[in-house]
Structure 1
Amino acid sequence: MKFSDYQRSIRDTDQRPGQNLEDITVHLLGLAGEAGSVAGAYKKYIRDGAADTTFKLRMREEIGDVLWYLAAITDHLELNLDEVAATNLEKTRGRWLLEEADAYDTEFPELERLPRHGTYEFIPGTNGEGRPTITVMFDGQALGAELTDNALVDDGYRFHDVFHLAYATVLGWSPVTRALMNRKRKSSPDIDESEDGGRAIVIEEGVAAFVFAYAARHEYLDGLNRVDQHFLDQILLMTHGLEVGSRKQADFERAILQGFNAFRELRANNGGFIDFDADARELKYRPRAAD
């Protein structure tokens, strides 16, 4: 049976079919009560174990009652239960399942594409003011100027280019990396301006700073394999309208976690190598050889 067929069928048994606030409230309270009944039935099973011989029958009944109220509320709100189910499935798959992610630049000349494989080297140093620095190298060339933490405390932000590398590797998106590597898609002026230009670069740097602030309050994500849903939703809001808007929460979560796995190693060892594979959507830390 389709959800929408079930939704139409329950109308015959709806004792409060009106559209007044009280009618909808009755169904909302009924849903809350039946959800409690499901929990109560499971509590009894935990308590009694095998002695609770009617557990599955009772759960089937209680879950059915929950479904009835869900269908009734959906109907009262003039929604379609098929669409509700499909939307929820899309949402949950985007949150928990990493899907295939085609590169955004396959149709562009090779020199305008992000590299698919390679190695970044993070070289430590000290500037004229005695502050620790990092120079990032790729294929024998420095990517931009040497970086400091730009802060009064040593929090390791000088290693933050690894976050942009993680976005490029896992998401296939990084206007910052394109600018550093001189791989902006200039053959398409519209794409160059809207996706690789200053606004997109600022948004990506904002995402990196936002993620860093979150991670700094969670031990730089050490030992975590998930991040907060609301936090991921905010990142999707920040990047809405850009090409990376096609990526889901699970994609960003993987990019963030992999980026911080590499960041913690770089910070602990004061530099090293990051090998990346965009086909596998992975990056890994490799230490420098001992002197």
Structure 2
Amino acid sequence: MENEDQLAKYLFQLKKLRRDRNKERGDAPHKVVLLLAIIEGVENGDIISNRISVTPELVLSFKSIWSKIVVTDHLQNFAMPFFRLKSDGFWKLHSKHGSFIPRIISTFIGLREAISCAEMDKVLFSFLLNPISREVIKSELLNHYFADTKDRLTNAENDFVNELTTQVLNNDRITYAERIAELRIKMQVSDFEEEIYVRSGIFKREIPKIYNYTCAISGLRIESTINAQLVDACHITPFSISQDDTAGNGFSLTPTIHRAYDRGLITIDEDYLVRISPNITEVDSVYSLKQFDGKKILLPVKKCFYPLQENFGWHRRECFLG
């Protein structure tokens, strides 16, 4: 009975969210979309704690849900609801700078610079962890705020995430770089940074998937019942130089080997064989890099996802300590 009363209290709060009102656009949908994105994160296992950080997965979910159910011409903005939910009684912000929190945050850049995470009320979060009460909360939010468009949530068409995923997996590097250059010109600085952050999140998600969550050099692969990925998506040429988040500019590595690659201690030759820098000295160890010298890297099943030799060529010329 007590749990039912507590849930009823939160449902009442959630249906009374403080939202900006505009005569032409109507009430702002941002907070509701963020809460739905958090629920999706809990369902997917991406969010396991009531201390909720800004992650590519959460921003991706926010954008995807927005693209499906928001039909007003409100400007899509992730930072505003993440910051402004603090006025609704169950959301506390934690600063990166002691106790100081700015009076207002409205940009993605500002949010990431100032806020380390938000803390949701523990009891409310416990209801989100429970599949039954989570579904009740989700249904109440959709029925109350998005009664006319809620059915679109399961529609895969016009999905922002699917569109970007297609670009990451299927665009050639020139087409992709041209698209990034076009967005840089068209978008505000903070919006562009959010866009790049999201695209980077898709790259980090899709590259390990292409390699079956296996390190392309060591072969390490660990299966887990929780969301605990142990391989990184590695850019062959840095995004800052190439503007390339496509499959041809990535392969999967364990964090240690990823670091060695970025520092030029290892590279990949024209035959996809691992080469170790002659400038390093190692003690005998089962973890040594030299054990991989001459080993052919794991390649994706589909040839269209192979890492491009022109990218490895750049790394050999510019980074490798040969």
The TM-score by the shorter chain falls in which range?
under 0.3
**Structure label with greater radius of gyration:** 1
TM-score (norm 1): 0.23
TM-score (norm 2): 0.21
Greater percentage in helix: 1
